[in-house]
Each structure stands twice: as C-alpha cells, then as structure tokens.
Amino acid sequence: MRASVTKIGNSTGVILPKVVAERLKIKLGDMLILTETPEGYAITP
C-alpha cells in the first residue's frame, strides 16, 4: 500500500489511505507514534 507525501505549511505530511486510518481507528487531530524497526518504521496510534 502507498501513502502520499505532501507539504503542509512549513512541514512535510503523509496522507494515509482511508483504509489505513480505519484500521488504526484514528481521526483528524490524533497523535501517532513512529517507532524505528530493522524493516523501517512502525506507525501506531
């Protein structure tokens, strides 16, 4: 699955597909935790 990278103000943002947001049960304004793993990054609510 792919996600888009975009500019948001002076920051860089990632647009998650709707199905990913639904599976993570996240909504606008929620904070996510990015954890570095040997395979890349894990995203958790």
pTM summary value: 0.71
Q: Report the pLDDT value the prediction gives residue 11, as an integer from 0 to 100.
A: 96
Can you name the residues that pair with 41 across neighbouring β-strands? 36
Show me where the domains of the chain are located. Answer: 4-44
Q: Report the pLDDT value the prediction gives residue 1, as an integer from 0 to 100.
A: 87
Q: What CATH fold (topology level) applies to the domain 4-44?
A: Pemi-like Protein 1; Chain: D (2.10.260)
Average pLDDT score over the chain: 95
Per residue, what are the HEC states of the chain?
CCCEEEEECCEEEEECCHHHHHHHCCCCCCCCEEEEECCEEEEEC
pLDDT in tens, 28-42: 999 999 999 999 999
44 vs 23: CA distance, rounded Å: 11
